[in-house]
Amino acid sequence: MTETTKLEAKVLLIDPDPVERQNLADFCVAQGLKPLESEPGGALSLLEAHQDLAGLMMSEALLTDASAGLAWTRSVHKLRPELPVFLRRTSARALSPQEREFVQFEWSSSDMEQLRSSVDRTIFSLRYPTPLVHGIVELTCSALRSMFPNAVVEAQSPYVVHDRIIQGEVSTLIAIESTWCRGYMMLQTEENALRQGLIAGLSYEGLGGELSFRDLNNMLGETTNLIWGAFKNRYIPPEAFANQQTQVPIVINHAHKYISFGSTDPQLCIRYNLSEGKRPELPPLVIVQRFIFNLHWSPDQFAEYSAAADSGPTGELDLF
Amino acid sequence: MAHVLVVDDSNTMREIVSSFLVKNGFEVTRANDGRDGLEQLRNDPSIKLVLSDVNMPNMDGLTMAEKIRGEMGNKAVHIVMLTTEDNQAMRERGRAIGVTGWVVKPFRGEAVLGPFKKMCGL
């Protein structure tokens, strides 16, 4: 594994208690996070100005604060729904369902380990550059909408995982190699959910009815191919294709839904929900995407290349 | 009827493209790689347009196009590559071979319907 470049991630910190705010700011710095301290009144403009924010840390006191409150928190969540919210608990009461809608993690200042663990899992930009992750989500949503034109496609907040679990029965694996990374992308989903989604008409007319497992494999396979192609066209310079480098064995144990790449590097994980627009109450088809750059990872070089990248339009005919 | 040969190793993609073309009045023949595509074209001279993926097993799309223009001597049929590849060197190779056009996937039928009809004389 290549040495990982230390990335810095910005978090918005809003806590009316000055001692707690300072403690939290110190914690953030120790974790490689850059805290932006704010009062509730200035938070919305900061959220707009800093599109590269990785999370919001706030005190429970704000939920009942006269200058903030639940309505304020909702407007923050509406403005940046992808941001994970870390709530410092100041009471033992149970959160209401409305509060639970936007709070991803709760912690109390007596247990900083709990917060550290949540940050490690959730602040993906400590390892993966935010523009890369946003680009991945954008090109994946485009590929999913292309393969499932009748589905409402939504990406959940990206996060990192350290487990080696395969989600569901259908999965694909494709190698990704560039001058700045080497590793794999996986798509994983449940066979029955995929079948039901196709029968319900999320994809193209004619793709449904009697579906064998091979049809389902092909569907996920072609989706993988589209994402891979878009990733390659956007982030992989042509000179990267000349590389013939070492590989490491990948271990798969189907009985335990286990896959190992021989590394414990954190994997970037994004879950996409594909639902029927007309029947949003039905459970969505969930497709899980994972990236693991276990063979080479230099996010600095990603930044250089992506700045020069200029992908052309897709789907249009370029006549020679 | 305007006859199109759709060449792609992905059954899903073949069906997505074919069903769109059929719905829009084209007759479609399917092939699952470049070798199969060459065979189908040899058997049916009524094909006006070959719509082909690039990366395929057995024979890739650009090699197939090269053989259509070279060995078969067919200069009349239009060849359009439909691929995830957006590599300039690959496009240049296609241009040099005599490929008519290049479409980067995903396939958006409405965006290419007009030119395809024109190529087929509709």
Q: Using 50, 70 and 90 to split pLDDT, how confident is the model at A178?
A: confident
Taking an 8 Å cut-off on Cβ atoms, the answer to whether B12 and A318 are in contact is no
Taking an 8 Å cut-off on Cβ atoms, the answer to whether B111 and A317 are in contact is yes
Q: Using 50, 70 and 90 to split pLDDT, how confident is the model at B29?
A: very high
- CA dist A41 and A36 (Å) reads 14
Residue A216, pLDDT score: 86
Taking an 8 Å cut-off on Cβ atoms, the answer to whether B83 and A229 are in contact is yes
Taking an 8 Å cut-off on Cβ atoms, the answer to whether B10 and A221 are in contact is yes
Pairing of strands A9-14, A33-37: parallel
How many CA atoms, within 13 angstroms, populate the side-chain half-sphere of residue A296? Answer: 16
Taking an 8 Å cut-off on Cβ atoms, the answer to whether A317 and B115 are in contact is yes
Mean pLDDT within B54-81: 94
Instruction: Report yes or no: A101 and A81 within 8 Å, Cβ to Cβ.
Output: no
B58 touches A at CB < 8 Å: no
Residue A67, pLDDT score: 64
Of residues B48 and A246, the one with the higher pLDDT is: B48
Mean pLDDT within B69-89: 93
Taking an 8 Å cut-off on Cβ atoms, the answer to whether A146 and B108 are in contact is yes
Instruction: Report yes or no: A213 and A198 within 8 Å, Cβ to Cβ.
Output: no
Interface confidence (ipTM) of the complex: 0.81
- CA dist A179 and A188 (Å) reads 26
% of chain B surpassing 70 pLDDT: 100
**Least confident window among A18-32, A142-156, A243-257, A258-272:** A243-257
For B59-88, b where at least 16 C-beta lie within 10 A, e where not — what string? bbbbbbbbbbbeeeebeebbbbbbbbbbbe
Residues of chain A contacting B, Cβ within 8 Å: 142-143, 146-147, 204-207, 215, 218-219, 221-222, 225-226, 228-230, 232-233, 238, 311-320
| pLDDT at residue A314 is higher than 80 | no
B117 touches A at CB < 8 Å: no
Residue A64, pLDDT score: 76
Residues of A in contact with B15 (CB under 8 A): 204, 206-207
- What's the whole-number average pLDDT of chain A? 83
**Least confident window among A20-24, A71-75, A223-227, B101-105:** A71-75
Q: Which residue has the tokens 């912690």?
A: A107
A117: left (phi over 0), alpha (psi -120 to 50) or beta: alpha
Residue A176 to chain B, least CA–CA distance (Å): 14
Residue A98, pLDDT score: 80
Taking an 8 Å cut-off on Cβ atoms, the answer to whether B111 and A219 are in contact is no
B104: nearest CA partner in chain A: A314
Residue A206, pLDDT score: 66
List the domain boundaries for chain B. Answer: 3-119
A206: left (phi over 0), alpha (psi -120 to 50) or beta: left
Q: Using 50, 70 and 90 to split pLDDT, how confident is the model at A168?
A: confident
Taking an 8 Å cut-off on Cβ atoms, the answer to whether B104 and A143 are in contact is no
A141: nearest CA partner in chain B: B106
B90: nearest CA partner in chain A: A238
CATH architecture of B3-119: 3-Layer(aba) Sandwich (3.40)
Residue A123, pLDDT score: 82
Taking an 8 Å cut-off on Cβ atoms, the answer to whether A320 and B85 are in contact is no
Of residues B108 and A206, the one with the higher pLDDT is: B108
- CA dist B6 and B8 (Å) reads 7
Instruction: Report yes or no: A120 and A160 within 8 Å, Cβ to Cβ.
Output: yes
Instruction: Report yes or no: A14 and A39 within 8 Å, Cβ to Cβ.
Output: yes
- Cβ count within 10 A of residue A101: 14
Cut 0.80: pTM above it: no
